[in-house]
Amino acid sequence: MQFRSTLSSEPQIPLIDAVLRCLPSDGGLYVPSQVIDLRQYFLHMDEKTSYKELISTLTPVLLQGALGPEAAARVALGAYDFEPQLQHLDDKLSVLRLYVGPSGTFKDFGVSFLASLLEELIGDQGQGMIISAVRGDSGINLERAFRGRRGLTSVMLYPSGTILGLDPSYYVSQGGNIIPIQIRGTLDDCQRLVTEIIHDRPFAERHGISSANAINPGRLFPQVFYYLYAFTAMRNALLGDLVFSVPSGNFGNLISGLYAWKFGLPVYGFIAAMNGNNSFGDFIRGGKYQPQPLLHTLSPALDVSIPSNYERLSSFYQEAPAVMRNMVFPASVDDQATVKAMEQAWKEYGLILDPHGAVAFGAAREYLKSPENADSHVVVLATGHPAREAALVEKVTGQRVALPEKLQRLKQSSEPLAIIDPQLEALEAAIASCI
């Protein structure tokens, strides 16, 4: 598999270099330029194939040329102690639960695989430092994926305010490998610093710096596996065209679906399920992209006015405009419809969804209402654990969902190891003083 920058078609670099460097020097983002056709590997799999088998078969193929088959299999097996759960609801609908990991969001699939891959690439010989911008409870994602990984230190930058759920016994000050740093500024400042430190090549190379934010293509390609898994698990029972309904904020999940199609997934299309922040819909339909002011909704992970994967989508669009128009169906589900969808899912299927999953469910129901889509089977991606939004879920469904043991920490705020101004020199000095 080869990667290139969104801003130029040359040079093409191998997957491993793209994952380690994270950002091309021309200011673009890495996107795949050549993908491997995986059909010969997954088309014989079916409902008897476990998720573990699927990823340990496909990972060595994807990492060909970078890691030998045994090392690649270690990456796959060391990535997850959880797996997606597919539930068939009826002939038209299924749900794929992706909130089964340590942070209770689908992002665990990308982050955990990346951590396992980086450990295999760096862990034995060198030292790697993974610098990422986080906010609120999103740090727990990275902490769980990276803590205790050989040779890796995970630095998390978060904006003024609190960060939730980190366990201080994994901080470097306690002999661990986690460094939380509070930036006097906004999430944008944190993200800018991540970019700046990667582009400071002497510093970045000395410390082996990469990032686990979605700028890293190594976050996106592991998400391909659960799309393929959903297909293999239901192919023998599938009636009609396969469609995925994807709750979309920064569009990383949806892009992975498009990559899965490039890898050979026989899919009919993807519903880009947005909440009231839906200005991206016009762009997907082929129009110009005009960002609108941000709305705060019941599904906060979808409250994005300029998706960080805009460049990746737009490069995909330039490569294959017809595909985008014919395969990606934009939908918008406002707060009222989100609540209604949550209620319907519970009443009709006994299914408890968080508001992000409810946006995808509501969009799927709308899609299926249209007679031309009557032959589709929609897989709703449930991306967030309902317990993360327990108050709303209880209000709408009357059901109390307990926070699983492993998510209990989410309620506690964590202390930083340093508090600094949003400047690169301050960050580099803070890192030097922590390690």
Residues lying near ligand PLP in the complex (CB under 6 A) are found at: 105, 107, 247-253, 301-302, 356, 383-384
Q: Which is nearer to ligand PLP, 383 or 414 (CB)?
A: 383
Cβ distance to ligand PLP smaller for residue 72 or 98: 98
Closest CB to ligand PLP among residues 250, 423: 250
- Least Å distance between CB 301 and ligand PLP? 3
As measured in angstroms, the least distance from the Cβ of 3 to ligand PLP is 19
Q: Give the relative orientation of helices 107-122 and 69-79 as an angle to the nearest 10 degrees.
A: 140
User: Is the Cβ of residue 301 or residue 393 nearer to ligand PLP in the bound state?
Assistant: 301
Q: Which residue is nearest to ligand PLP (CB)?
A: 384
CB of 188 to ligand PLP, least distance (A): 16
Q: Between residues 67 and 190, which has the closer beta carbon with respect to ligand PLP?
A: 190
Please, which residue, 112 or 177, has the CB nearer to ligand PLP? 112
Nearest to 361 by CA among 103, 77, 87: 87
Min CB(211)–ligand PLP separation in Å = 16
CB of 92 to ligand PLP, least distance (A): 22
Tokens for 14, please give them: 């191998």
Residue 233 vs 273, nearer CB to ligand PLP: 273
Mapping DSSP to helix (H, G, I), strand (E, B) and coil, where does residue 5 land? strand
Q: How far is the CB of 14 from ligand PLP (least distance, A)?
A: 25
Q: Which residues contact 372 (CB under 8 A, 6 or more apart)?
A: none
Place of tokens 């898994």: 229
Note the Cα 370 to chain centre separation in Å: 30
d(CA 28, CA 359): 31
What's the min distance (Å) between Cβ of 44 and ligand PLP?
A: 30
80 token code pair: 């997850």
Q: How far is CA 249 from the centre of its chain?
A: 10
Residues 421, 429 contacting (CB under 8 angstroms): no
State the minimum distance, in angstroms, from the CB of residue 130 to ligand PLP. 19
What backbone torsions phi and psi does residue 102 show, to the nearest 5 degrees?
A: -65, -25
- Residue 6 CB, nearest distance to ligand PLP (Å)? 17
Q: Whose Cβ is closer to ligand PLP: residue 116's or residue 309's?
A: 309
Contact 227, 244 (CB under 8 A): yes
Alpha carbon distances (Å) from 199 to 29, 268, 346, 415, 424: 13, 39, 48, 28, 11
CA angle 275, 389, 226 (to 5 degrees): 70
Q: Which of 192, 174, 173 has the alpha carbon at shortest distance from 183? A: 192
Which long-range contacts (C-beta less than 8 Å, at least 24 apart) are formed by 317-323? 321/286, 323/258, 323/261
What's the closest the beta carbon of residue 255 comes to ligand PLP, in angstroms?
Answer: 8
- Answer for the pair 191, 183: CB distance below 8 angstroms, yes or no: no
Which residues are CB-contacts of 402 (< 8 A; sequence separation ≥ 6)? 387, 390
Structure tokens at 198: 């990667």
Q: Which is nearer to ligand PLP, 171 or 251 (CB)?
A: 251
Nearest to 114 by CA among 134, 142, 135: 142
Tell me the C-alpha distance between 257 and 272, whole Å: 11
